Amino acid sequence: MSGLAGHSRPSVFRHPSLAVGAALTALFVLAAALSLVWAPHSPFDIDVPHKLAAPSAAHWLGTDAFGRDVASLLLVGAQNSLLVGVVAVAIGLIIGAALGLLAAAMGGFPEDLVMRLADFAFAFPAVLSAILLAALFGPSVLDAILAIGVFNVPVFARVTRAAARGVWTRDFILAARAAGSGTLRISLEHILPNILPGLTVQATIQFATAVLAEAALSYLGLGTQPPQPSWGRMLNDAQTLMFQAPQLAVYPGLAIALAVLGLNLLGDGLNDLLDPRLARTR
């Protein structure tokens, strides 16, 4: 990937992980979008006489223990993973970025406080906080979103603070100050746009983590509740049928792995694209 030929091509081709990641992510999003308007069958249609059917023209990936169409369950499951991921990352991003900007702008005690809280929250992985929430309110997809979202807050707070501190030392901030802009205004108009690329990369990676966490929680029965199709839940159902229908345990896991792989590669690729200095050392 070196030499003149590499440079004359559009940058996407110089970043194979970006291309593969974008393609897989697009597939994930398209599957979710498609399932809103069309699926081969309804994922709620129970057809017990045709349960555990092998793949056929009518059921591309066969049917599950209730005779539901596995391909349709996978498509609609994408919707679920996407929704949980988007909302959980949005919670973490909005609250975390606000806290991080605040910490970088104020310094001193508020900064220490925010960072100590972030340290503290790191002792609670998403799965543990979801278990606590489930113990509290009973299992639901809302608990899962909340738990994953809360877990994302310290991650974004740290990234935002670290990046924002770097921007605060730059000359154009001094100029903005001299022009009479207040701390809040500088944070929103100058700091935030400058750290947005880094936040985008982090958001992509956290999205992947959120998809994984949702799958794990739904697998444990603490996330998405039936009959709403969810990849994690499908794996849980498949595990009881491992001897009769091992193929059922393969597809949902593959879907999760491909979605997560795509998002992670996209994040890595974006990182290389936005920060070429880093790319060279990779």
Partner 1 sequence: MFLATLIGASVVIFVVLEVLPGNAAQTMLGPDATPQTVAALAHKLGLDRPPVERYVSWIAGLAHGDFGLSYAYGTPIADLIENGLAVSLPLALLAMLLTTALALGLGILAAAHHRRLGDLGAMTLSQVGIAVPNFWLAILLILFFAVRLRWFAAGGFPGWDAGVGPALKALVLPAVALAAVQAAILTRVIRAAVLDVMREDFVRTARAKGLSRAAVLWRHVLRNALIPVVTIMGLQFANLVAGTVVVENVFYLPGLGRLVFQSIANRDGVVVRDAIMLLVVMVVAVNFLIDILYLVIDPRLRARR
- Which range in 74-82, 140-148, 160-168, 249-257 contacts partner 1 by CB under 8 A? 249-257
Q: How far is the CB of 79 from partner 1 (least distance, A)?
A: 18
Closer residue to partner 1 (CB): 195 or 216: 216
Q: Is 142 in the site for partner 1 (CB under 8 A)?
A: no
Note whether 191 and 133 are within 8 A (CB): no
Closer residue to partner 1 (CB): 169 or 281: 281
Q: Amino acid identity of 268?
A: D
Closer residue to partner 1 (CB): 4 or 123: 123
Q: Which two tokens stand for residue 262?
A: 């795509």
Q: How far apart are CA 118 and CA 123, in angstroms?
A: 9
- Which range in 51-59, 67-75, 119-127, 162-170 contacts partner 1 by CB under 8 A? 119-127
Q: Count CB neighbours of 117 within 10 A.
A: 15
Q: Which two tokens stand for residue 144?
A: 């899962």
Q: How far apart are CA 99 and CA 157, in angstroms?
A: 6
Compute the C-alpha angle 232/238/239, nearest 5°: 95
Residue from 7, 120, 142, 182 that binds partner 1 (CB under 8 A)? 120
182: helix, coil or strand?
coil
Q: Within 35-64, which residues bind partner 1 (CB under 8 A)?
A: none
Burial (0-12, 13-18, 19+ Cβ within 10 Å), 261: middle
Q: Is 260 in the site for partner 1 (CB under 8 A)?
A: yes
Q: Which two tokens stand for residue 85?
A: 């991921």
- Which range in 31-39, 118-126, 154-162, 170-178 contacts partner 1 by CB under 8 A? 118-126
Q: Is 220 in the site for partner 1 (CB under 8 A)?
A: yes
Q: Is 128 in the site for partner 1 (CB under 8 A)?
A: yes
Q: How far is the CB of 12 from partner 1 (least distance, A)?
A: 18
Closer residue to partner 1 (CB): 163 or 219: 219
Residue with tokens 């400058």: 194
DSSP state of 220: T
Residues in contact with partner 1, counted by CB under 8 A, come to a total of: 41
Closer residue to partner 1 (CB): 53 or 234: 234
Sign of CA dihedral 58, 60, 64, 70: negative
Residue from 55, 110, 197, 253 that binds partner 1 (CB under 8 A)? 253
- Which range in 75-83, 127-135, 155-163, 194-202 contacts partner 1 by CB under 8 A? 127-135
Q: Which two tokens stand for residue 157?
A: 């707070």
